Structure 1
Amino acid sequence: MAELLFYREPTLLDRAGHAALRYTPSPDFGFSRDVNSVPLLAVEFFEASRSLPVLFADDAQDRRFPLALLSLANDHNAQLATDGRWTGGYTPAFVRRYPFALDGDKNVCFDRAATHFAGEGQPLFDGGVPSSTLQGVIGFLQEFDAEHARTREFCDALQAKDLFKPFVLQVITADKQTARLGGLSAIDETRLQQLDAATVDEWFRRGWLAWIYAHLHSLGALKRLGDQLDTRAAA
C-alpha cells in the first residue's frame, strides 16, 4: 500500500519543534489530481460502491489490497473539479486523512509542504499537549489504521481461498492512446459459490460476505467512469 502517496515532505510531528504549528482544513483535494486510483478500506466498500469501482491490486508486499478506481484515464483523477473540490459521490479515507498519517511506530506525521500549514489556523498543541484539533486528527488516524488491519485480514483470507481472478481494463493515456491496465483483480463469483459452509458462515458473521457483494456491486460504476471520460473528450 502506498502509505505516503501524496506526501512531498513527510515530517514527524514534534510537540517541541512544532508547538506553534497551525492547521487549516481545506476542501481542495488537488494534491490527488494525478492519480487514477487510491487504496480503499473494506469498511468503505458500501459507500464507495455507489459511485466508484472497487478492485484489488498487489501492494508493496505483493499482497492484494483494495483500491477505488477514480478514472479510466491514466494519471488522472476524474472526481475533481478544476478548483480541487471533490465532485465524486464518495471521498476515500486515504484521501481525507491528508496531510496527516501514522508511521510504522504509530507516530503522527504530516506533509510539511502542504498548504494546510501555510497560514493562520487551528493550533495543534495547547500548552505542550495535543489540542482538540490534533486529538480529532489522531482519532481518525487510529481508526484508519485499525480498519486497515481488518482489511488486510480480509484480503489475506480471500487470497488463501484463491478467490481472485485477473481483471483487465482499458485506459486512455495522456496522448489519447488506448492502453491496458493490468495487475488488477476482482473476486471470482464462481469460486465464491463453491466455498464450504463453515467458511460462508464465518465470513457472514464477520461481515465479509457483505464486503464481497459490495465490491461486486461496485463494478457497475465502471460505466460512470466511462461516461466521465467521454465528457472530458468532448470538452
Structure 2
Amino acid sequence: MATAPAPANLPLFYKDLVPLSSVDHADFRARPLDSAEFLVGQHAIPLTSDEFVSACRFFPIVFSAGDNPVPLALMGLNEGINTFVDDDGKLVNPVYVPAYIRRYPFLLAKLQPNSEELSLCFDPTSGALGKFDEGDVLFVDGQPSDQTKAVLEFCKNFEEAGQRTGMFMEELKKADLLMDGEVSIQQEGNDKPYVYRGFQMVDENKLRELRGDVLRKLMQNGILGLIFAHLFSLQLMREVFAEQVKSGKMPLNTELPAA
C-alpha cells in the first residue's frame, strides 16, 4: 500500500543521495523549506511504532500488504491524494508530522554494501542545503556544527526506532494477529459504497482469543497499547474520506496499492 518506489531504489521522497562531506560542503548551509512539495500526492507515509500514540490522533495507521509489512500513516485513501497538504505542499491544518517526513532531506545510509557503517547523506535536489547567505552552517573549522550534530542524532534515533518497529512487527506476525484489511464507506448519493483494500490490520477477533500468557507478554512489553492505538486510529478513515470528498478528489479506484 506504499507509494511506487523512488527511482534507483531510493527511499520515498529521495531523488538522489550524496554523503555530507566537510570538504565538499564546507561552506554549505541548511535552511528550512517553505513547503513540502515532496508530500503532494503521497498518500501513505512510513511510521515507526514509537509514533503510534501521537499519530493515531490524526491519521489512520495501517500495515502494508505482503510478507514484510510496515506501519503506514494514511494521509489519503487513494494513491496520489494527500488530504493534509495543499497543492503547494503546505499543511492545511496543524497535525503531528511523522519523523520520516521531518528527517528529509537527510538520511543515514551505507556507502559500502559490505560495511555496516552508516554515513549521513542528503538529497541535493531538495533545495534545503547549499551555498546560501542565510541558514545554519553545517561545518565549523572542518568539524560538524551543532546543527549537523543534532541532525545526526535525530537520524540515529530514527534508525533505532526503525529497529524497534521491526521487532514490533515480528511480534504481531508471531502472534498471527494480522489480517487483510477492508473498509467500506458509503457516500451519500451513491448507490454503491467505496471499498478500500490492499492493506493489513490487526484482527480483533484473534486479539480477543489470545492465550493469557501471550496477552500478558504483549501488555508487559508495551505492544498491546500500540495495537489499541492502531485500532482506534482506523476510525479516522471516514474523516480522511470526507476530506477527499470535500476537496473533489475522488478517483474511481478504491484499491489501496500494495507495497
Q: TM-score, normalised by structure 2?
A: 0.80
Stretch deviating more after TM superposition (193-202 or 40-49): 193-202
Question: In the alignment, what sits opposite 1:63?
Answer: 68
Contact between 2:40 and 2:87, CA under 8 Å: does it hold in 1? no
Q: How many residues align?
A: 226
What's the offset of the Cα at 1:183?
3.0
What's the offset of the Cα at 1:58?
4.2
Contact between 1:64 and 1:159, CA under 8 Å: does it hold in 2? no
Stretch deviating more after TM superposition (68-77 or 206-215): 68-77
Question: In the alignment, what sits opposite 1:14?
Answer: 21
Q: Determine the C-alpha separation between the residues in 1 that align with 2:162 and 2:89.
A: 26
Question: In the alignment, what sits opposite 2:171?
Answer: 157
Q: Which residue, 142, 153, 162 being the options, matches 1:148?
A: 162
Contact between 2:40 and 2:88, CA under 8 Å: does it hold in 1? no
Identity %, equivalent residues = 29
Question: In the alignment, what sits opposite 2:243?
Answer: 228
Question: Aligned to 2:122, what secondary structure does the other structure show?
Answer: strand
Contact between 2:49 and 2:71, CA under 8 Å: does it hold in 1? yes
Q: Determine the C-alpha separation between the residues in 2 that align with 1:179 and 1:57.
A: 19
What does the per-residue CA deviation read over 1:147-199, in whole Å, with 9 as the maximum and x for residues that have no partner? 1100110101111221111113579xxxxxx9865431000011111222222
The verdict on how the C-alpha distance between 1:214 and 1:27 changes in structure 2, with shifts beyond 3 A counting, is farther
What does the per-residue CA deviation read over 1:195-231, in whole Å, with 9 as the maximum and x for residues that have no partner? 2222222221211110000000000111110111111
* Residue identity opposite 2:143 in structure 1: V
Question: In the alignment, what sits opposite 2:228?
Answer: 213
- Whether 2:211 is the aligned partner of 1:196: answer yes
Contact between 1:55 and 1:68, CA under 8 Å: does it hold in 2? yes
* Residue identity opposite 2:173 in structure 1: Q
Alignment of 1:114-129 (within 5 A): 114-118=126-130, 119-120=132-133, 121-129=135-143
Q: Determine the C-alpha separation between the residues in 2 that align with 1:29 and 1:76.
A: 14
* Residue identity opposite 1:90 in structure 2: Y
Question: In the alignment, what sits opposite 2:85?
Answer: 80
Question: Aligned to 2:128, what secondary structure does the other structure show?
Answer: helix
Contact between 1:72 and 1:170, CA under 8 Å: does it hold in 2? no
Question: Aligned to 2:70, what secondary structure does the other structure show?
Answer: strand
Q: TM-score, normalised by structure 1?
A: 0.88
Question: In the alignment, what sits opposite 1:132?
Answer: 146
Question: Aligned to 2:73, what secondary structure does the other structure show?
Answer: strand
Unmatched runs of 5 consecutive residues or more in structure 1: 172-177
The verdict on how the C-alpha distance between 1:27 and 1:143 changes in structure 2, with shifts beyond 3 A counting, is farther
Contact between 1:102 and 1:108, CA under 8 Å: does it hold in 2? yes
Q: Which residue, 123, 131, 135 being the options, matches 1:111?
A: 123
* Residue identity opposite 2:169 in structure 1: C
Contact between 1:64 and 1:156, CA under 8 Å: does it hold in 2? no
Q: Which residue, 101, 104, 110 being the options, matches 1:98?
A: 104
Question: In the alignment, what sits opposite 2:114?
Answer: none
The verdict on how the C-alpha distance between 1:64 and 1:33 changes in structure 2, with shifts beyond 3 A counting, is same
Alignment of 1:155-194 (within 5 A): 155-168=169-182, 182-194=197-209
Question: In the alignment, what sits opposite 1:175?
Answer: none
